[in-house]
């Protein structure tokens, strides 16, 4: 499994490659737009050229773009709904321009509505985004389950993927979100049970990779609170299993931890050491 972290794209954009190299990233996640704003920010052509040039040497792959935080494909507010779609189209086009794997996003909230009633609207928005872009993958991230957030269960994600029916739709699993939504990944067979269920519902070929985050919140807490690797409720055992699992060798793992006790450089070093430990199965 390749390992990396969420890297800043503070100007100049191309320096994200240098920042990633400095902490030992083999892959990375970035924002292509300010995460709390609707208005997209253009990336200058010269910066795209420099980014690609730097990455020829660095070999950081894959790169994924994280969407802005405001996205809600189930919104009943026309402005929020249309802006969500336009924001993802912009991110997807930027992903293509820099050679990224795709765009990772949450889907939003039903705001008290029923998921089954929101499903057609969600699938239509994803289909429109795919139809108006090329090549880049639309990557659905699982949610922690707070409130009426969409996609906290594999079953909901599978329904959306089935409805859209496109090879460009992939899934990313955040370990902290999965744990908080009730998947007991920290137990001996927890990861294998989770992967078996994922394979049954979606197929492991649709699993793009992971956000590797420990959790400050307990199992099934429905609270999205990341912790440094080994410093939360999940524990090191899971992360050793993830980075060595024979079914996950072609996947990637991205850190989004708060760096409360360890820097990302140190956490990546820890994960790389865990990667050297033979996987003993269940």
Which tens digits make up the pLDDT trace of 96-136? 999 999 999 999 999 888 999 999 999 999 999 999 999 99
Number of Cβ within 10 Å of residue 261's Cβ equals 13
Contact (CB, 8 A) for 94 and 41: no
Q: In DSSP terms, which residues pair with 30 in a beta bridge?
A: 65
Whether residue 282 is predicted with pLDDT greater than 70 in this model: the reply is no
CB-based contacts of 204, cutoff 8 Å, min separation 6: 195, 198, 247
How far from the centroid of its chain's Cα atoms is residue 145's Cα?
16
In the predicted model, is pLDDT for residue 201 greater than 90?
yes
Q: What is the mean pLDDT of residues 160-167?
A: 97
What is this structure's pTM?
0.96
Q: Which domains does the chain have, with CATH numbers?
A: 2-275 (3.20.20.150)
Provide the Cα torsion 225, 231, 237, 239; round to 10°.
60
215 phi/psi in degrees, rounded to 5: -125, 130
Residues 162-183 have a mean pLDDT of 97
Q: What is the pLDDT of residue 281?
A: 61
Q: How confident is the model at residue 147 (pLDDT cuts 50, 70, 90)?
A: confident
């Amino acid at each position: 499994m390749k390992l990396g972290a969420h890297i800043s794209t503070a100007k100049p954009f191309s320096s994200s490659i240098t920042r990633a190299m400095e902490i030992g990233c083999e892959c990375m996640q970035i924002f292509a737009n300010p995460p709390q704003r609707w208005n997209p920010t253009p990336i200058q052509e010269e910066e795209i050229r420099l980014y690609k040039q730097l990455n020829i040497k660095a070999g950081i792959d894959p790169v994924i773009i994280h969407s802005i935080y405001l996205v809600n494909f189930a919104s009943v507010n026309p402005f929020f709904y249309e802006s969500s779609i336009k924001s993802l189209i912009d991110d997807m086009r930027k992903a293509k321009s820099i050679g990224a794997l795709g765009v990772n996003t949450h889907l939003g909230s039903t705001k008290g509505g029923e998921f089954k009633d929101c499903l057609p609207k969600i699938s239509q928005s994803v289909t429109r985004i795919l139809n108006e872009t090329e090549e880049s993958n639309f990557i659905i991230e699982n949610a922690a389950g707070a409130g009426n957030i969409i996609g906290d269960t594999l079953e909901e994600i599978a329904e959306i993927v089935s409805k859209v029916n496109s090879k460009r739709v992939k899934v990313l699993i955040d370990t902290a979100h999965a744990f908080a939504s009730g998947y007991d990944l920290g137990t001996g067979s927890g990861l294998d049970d989770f992967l078996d269920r994922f394979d049954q519902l979606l197929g492991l070929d649709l699993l793009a990779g992971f956000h590797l985050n420990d959790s400050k919140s307990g199992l099934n807490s429905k609270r999205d609170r990341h912790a440094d690797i080994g410093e939360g409720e999940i524990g090191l055992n899971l992360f050793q299993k993830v980075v060595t699992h024979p079914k996950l060798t072609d996947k990637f793992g991205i850190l989004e931890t708060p760096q409360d006790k360890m820097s990302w450089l140190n956490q990546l070093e820890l994960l790389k050491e865990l990667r050297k430990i033979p996987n003993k199965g269940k």
